[in-house]
Amino acid sequence: MKKKFVISCIIAILLGTLLHFAYDISNNTFIIGLFTPVNESIWEHIKLIYIPLLTFAVISKIFFKYKNIFIASSISFLIPSILLLFIHYTLKKIQIESMFIDITSYILSMFFAFSIMYIYANNNFLYKYEKLGITLHIIFLIMFSLLTIYPPHIQLFLDKITNSYGFPK
């Protein structure tokens, strides 16, 4: 993987780690909560993959002139998110809970995401789908916002610590 993608991945992992605490640090600011975890549900933690990827995509479009970074980043978000969900629910099924495994799966998911993004960002064939990538990012942002405000009462959105969904009451 190209050096700037590796460095960007490491920065994105650190950004995601900081974002984990951003809602609390911001004194529970509503707008911050739309894009950072507001509770300990697995859904809220998927934002820790998405927001750093989107940040890198915007920076890459502006400074590195990647022609198809938005379609590449939208694809690279979906696959690692599914991987993170698979790991989480598999471990839950066999009754293993470990912060070390959670952190490791997050780091691996981010490296996987950046690997996929690197491959697709350097594929000129995808350029014609860049508008689709922008549209997908808009949909993702709306989806994260709405599902944080109005989370369905299903396991994916449940904060097991507080036994609640979405924004803390």
- Range 133-167 burial, b when 16+ CB lie within 10 A, else e: beebbeebeeebeebbeebeeeebbbbeeeebbbb
> For 158, what's the count of Cα atoms within 13 Å in the CB-facing half-sphere?
5
Which regions in the chain score pLDDT beneath 70? Answer: 1
- Return the SS3 of 38: coil
Q: Which residues pair with 159 in a beta bridge?
A: 164
CB under 8 Å to 6, separation ≥6 — which residues?
114
pLDDT at 49: 94
Say what the pTM is: 0.91
Measured in whole angstroms, the distance separating CA 110 from the mean position of its chain's CA atoms is: 8
Q: What pLDDT sits at residue 1? A: 52
> Looking at residue 129, what is its pLDDT?
94
Structure tokens at 164: 């609640």
For residue 107 the two structure tokens come to: 């780091």
Per-residue model confidence (pLDDT) at position 3: 87
Which residues is 164 bridged to in the sheet?
A: 159
